[in-house]
Amino acid sequence: MPPPSGAEACFRASNSSQTLFPSKRVESPSPLPFPAPLLVSYLMPTKSSTLGALEVISSRENRWLKTFRAALQRGEPTSRGFIGVEGPHLVEDALRAGLETSTILVSTSGEEFLDQLAPLLGRSVQRLKTTDRLFDAVADTRSPQGIAALVRPRPAQFDDLLRGVPLLVVLVAVQDPGNVGTILRSAEAFGASGVITCAGTAHPFAPKALRASAGSALRLPIAAGPSPSILLAQLRVAGIRSFAATLDEGISPADADLRSSAALFIGNEGAGLPPELERSADACIYIPLAAGVDSLNAAVAASVLLYEAARQRMVKK
């Protein structure tokens, strides 16, 4: 589907032509050069439930509560590869992204959200209910909203990220899940084709990363990458130039040709990228900073480079 016409920059839902809660249009001075992200319409509780009876859980030792506790608090996937998402925002994001959903857990106060979810729920989804106290014990957030789900992320391979003129983000040992989530959010917002995570990078579906991504982790193609050296070889074969974000000297973002197929390598928060990777990349890219400032946060640096790539791609060739 082509980008929105004129100055339209509203987000659209993928599974329905009409969202549960219409959002206002946001005027933009120019059309985006890439498909707009999905419309995120958030749930509000209602006073009735139309989904029928729920299976009620009253014991702290129930196996489902143990499964949700492991998924939400420790980020452990189930044996079948399902991860935990918590809160009405992320639960709806997952359903609208078309992710397979096995189970939904609500608390007494969160049960009201299910009416709004009814159009998105398949018949095979198991629905569980527990007390507010027991739900709070399995939740990972400070102020739980009473709804969580087990969903299976859509797997992505290297070739899945090569659509159109690829713009990839490669994370090398980015250890903070908050940074990983923020980078995923910026990657989707600025039209990246996908993200590749290399060894040492925080899991993109860890609870903190999921929340920081604001749902982008559930929609954006994310592939687990091989070693950076092997990945560089794959990129060259695919005709994609590699740009290593460096703490030292390099070309400025404005001087880098990011209109063509490109992969942006982002390194560890403290050490940056390994020197051998910087030497092997097609170019090193350096963000000029004010005097006395040594570096940027990894997520901020990635966002700056992604914005520059989007800006360049907005300019007509």
Round the average pLDDT of the chain to a whole number and report it: 86
Beta strands 55-57 and 194-197 are unpaired
pLDDT digits (tens, 9 = 90+) for 22-47: 444 444 444 555 555 544 444 444 44
Half-sphere exposure of 220 (CA within 13 A, CB side): 33
148 plus 189 within the same structural domain: no
Instruction: Give the model confidence (pLDDT) of 156-198 as tens digits.
Output: 999 999 989 999 999 999 999 999 999 999 999 999 999 999 9
Whether residues 179 and 201 fall in one domain:
yes
190 and 294 belong to one structural domain: yes
Please check whether residue 46 lies inside any domain of the structure: no
Residue 183 to residue 194: CA distance in whole angstroms: 11
> Are 148 and 178 in a shared domain?
no
> Of 152, 170, 205, which residue is a domain's last?
152
User: What is the mean pLDDT of the segment spanning 80-89?
Assistant: 95
Q: Check whether residue 96 and residue 131 sit in a common domain.
A: yes
Q: What is the domain extent for residue 7?
A: 1-41
Residues 69 and 110 in one domain: yes
Torsion-angle region of residue 136: left (phi > 0), alpha (psi -120 to 50) or beta?
alpha
Task: Tell me: do 162 and 309 sit in the same domain.
Answer: yes
- Asked if the structure places residue 140 within a domain, the reply is yes
Q: What share of the chain has pLDDT > 90, as a percent?
A: 71
Residue 212 domain flag: yes
- Which pLDDT belongs to residue 264? 98
Task: Check whether residue 168 and residue 305 sit in a common domain.
Answer: yes
Q: What is the pLDDT of residue 122?
A: 84
Q: What is the average pLDDT across 273-286?
A: 96
60 shares its domain with 75: yes
| Residue ending a domain, choose from 152, 180, 210 | 152
With CA atoms as reference, report the closest residue to 71 among 154, 155, 180, 148: 148
Closest listed residue to residue 130, CA positions, set 68, 74, 82: 68
In this structure, the answer to whether residues 255 and 275 fall within a common structural domain is: yes
Q: In this structure, are residues 192 and 163 in contact, taking their beta carbons and an 8 Å threshold?
A: no
The domain spanning residue 74 has which CATH number?
3.30.1330.30
Q: How confident is the model at residue 248 (pLDDT cuts 50, 70, 90)?
A: confident
CATH number at residue 283: 3.40.1280.10
Output the pTM of the full model.
0.82
Q: Is the pLDDT of residue 90 over 90?
A: yes
Is 50 a domain residue?
A: no
- Pair 210, 263 in one domain: yes
Residues 4 and 81 in one domain: no
Q: Give the number of domains in the chain.
A: 3
Q: Which of 152, 185, 211 is the last residue of a domain?
A: 152
Mean pLDDT of the region 47-56: 61
pLDDT in tens, 66-82: 999 999 999 999 999 99
